[in-house]
Amino acid sequence: MTSPLLQMQGITKEFPGVKALQDVNLTVQRGEIHAICGENGAGKSTLMKVLSGVYPHGTYDGDIVYDGKVVEFKSIRDSEHAGIVIIHQELALIPELSIAENIFLGNERASRGIISWDRSNREAIELLARVGLAENPLTPVKELGVGKQQLVEIAKALSKDVKLLILDEPTAALNDDDSQHLLGLLKDLQDKGITSIMISHKLNEIEQISDAITIIRDGQTVETLAVGGQDGPVDEDRIIRGMVGRSLENRFPERTPQIGEMLFEVSGWTVKHPQDTSRTVIDDANLKVRHGEIVGIAGLMGAGRTELARSIFGRNYGSRVEGRMVIDGKEVSLRSVPAAIEAGIAYVSEDRKVLGLNLLDDIKTSISSAGLGKLRKGLTIDEGREMTVAEEYRKKMRIKTPTVTEGVNKLSGGNQQKVVLSKWMFTDPQLLILDEPTRGIDVGAKYEIYVVIQQLAAEGKGVIVISSELPELLGLCDRIYTLAEGRITHEFAREEASQEALMRYMTTKDRASHGTGRDASEVAR
């Protein structure tokens, strides 16, 4: 039997006030696809940053044995010279530069200090072909979708003669087709002798592609499972049990809906594109939410889900918005985000790092930022009250941090999402719109967010959930609308919905000729 390509032995990493990793061990065999699983904040990304030199030798305890030798990487450049390349969850591409420029950035094809653009473009075409991307290497990266940008990152890694490829949540922002293409590419690279380590919360993908799975919990190694080996079948339930330390027999908390009177309604809602005013993005949409109701919106990428949500939230999207909005029986016209907040609407965006948080702020400031009027003390902010509020939400939402004065940029994705939710819950909204609320977070954190959503509904608030995960909508929502090419095509009561039925109406822009026309309150009766 050949020796492992990688062994990380007794890795311990501390930050002020927290021990992120404690005596972690990881063994990766040559040529395998090795998955690392764990809840948000478990230490997965920290471990990979230790391996890749982001956290240099001397800032952690323990040994890294790579290709049979103890290595001491002082920087990410050192690890890349050894053939280890990491692709972070936040892609490290420069939007304004071309594909070729991004691929060879810091690794330029040059002679005597002069870049050979012919060679750069020629080699870029060859690398793009290896990852299945038929794009002109002169195309600016900003013109590519997220899925294609992910492939550019892998092409960039291949340009560095990679032996060990590390991918941190590679499919978190991808649709199903792009995800499957990426997983197929990893299998192709495996056939060519490249070893991969993949961090992912998508357990079905891990089960599909991995040869071995290492589970980390609270900064410690729990176990390593050989998929299809002596450990027997490794399914999602088995992985979850290792991640959270218990079985999650029900992925969604039990709930008995208590649905009241009509809270919110839009009718004839039509939205024009911000730049191309001749293009209709949302076409004559009708949508309603009752007090205590959780309503889902299902649609494919580009269907207009986010555009609909943002246009409702103070016309945050669109060059022209037409239609009628009614809140608690009163017609309103909300032409700005502050007006929407004042009217009791909150919106948790799908991109928490760009639209949900200021990554330069601490947790305390982030939580209070949308509701500063509630903390006003004369002409200033009551900082003592602000601290108290932040602490209350830290405990209530189980945000993993030693202090609310910690920067939000130091939190895991799931804990950042809890901060965003806390921010909007502090405004005490009557209608909370959640756009991909559980994207990129683990099953344990998802369950906690589902509990919060159900608690808000139990308090009589209305919740709209937009999600690409159809099982999530089916498990959480009382009613579900389908959206296709900017048109609401059908409305499903909970017991009538299935993945097949939702997909049928997500892939046609024609409205159903015989919709149920019923809402959850009528179903309950």
- Percentage of the chain exceeding pLDDT 90: 53
Q: pLDDT tens digit string along 332-345?
A: 999 999 999 999 99
Token look-up 């501390």 returns 14
Indicate the pLDDT class of residue 49, thresholds 50, 70 and 90. very high
Q: What's the predicted TM-score (pTM) here?
A: 0.66
**Cβ atoms 280, 75 nearer than 8 A:** no
Q: Taking 60 as the threshold, does the pLDDT of residue 515 lie above it? A: no
pLDDT for the residue 364: 95
Better-predicted residue by pLDDT, 523 or 442 = 442
| φ, ψ dihedrals at 174, nearest 5° | -100, 150
Q: If you average pLDDT over residues 98-125, what whole number do you get? A: 89
Q: pLDDT tens digit string along 420-439?
A: 989 999 999 999 999 988 87
Cα angle vertex 444, ends 441, 448, to 5°?
A: 95
Better-predicted residue by pLDDT, 218 or 489 = 489
Q: pLDDT tens digit string along 274-306?
A: 888 888 999 999 999 999 999 999 988 778 999
Q: Taking 80 as the threshold, does the pLDDT of residue 76 lie above it? A: yes
Q: If you average pLDDT over residues 316-324, what whole number do you get? A: 91
Q: pLDDT tens digit string along 153-164?
A: 889 988 888 999
66: enclosing H helix or E strand: strand 61-66
Indicate the pLDDT class of residue 1, thresholds 50, 70 and 90. low
User: Which domains are present in the chain?
Assistant: 6-244 (3.40.50.300), 250-344+430-446+460-525 (3.40.50.300), 352-428 (no CATH)
110: enclosing H helix or E strand: strand 110-111
Count the neighbouring beta carbons within 10 Å of the beta carbon of residue 42.
Answer: 26
Cα angle vertex 167, ends 52, 205, to 5°?
A: 150
Indicate the pLDDT class of residue 517, thresholds 50, 70 and 90. very low
Return the SS3 of 284: strand
Q: If you average pLDDT over residues 348-359, what whole number do you get? A: 82
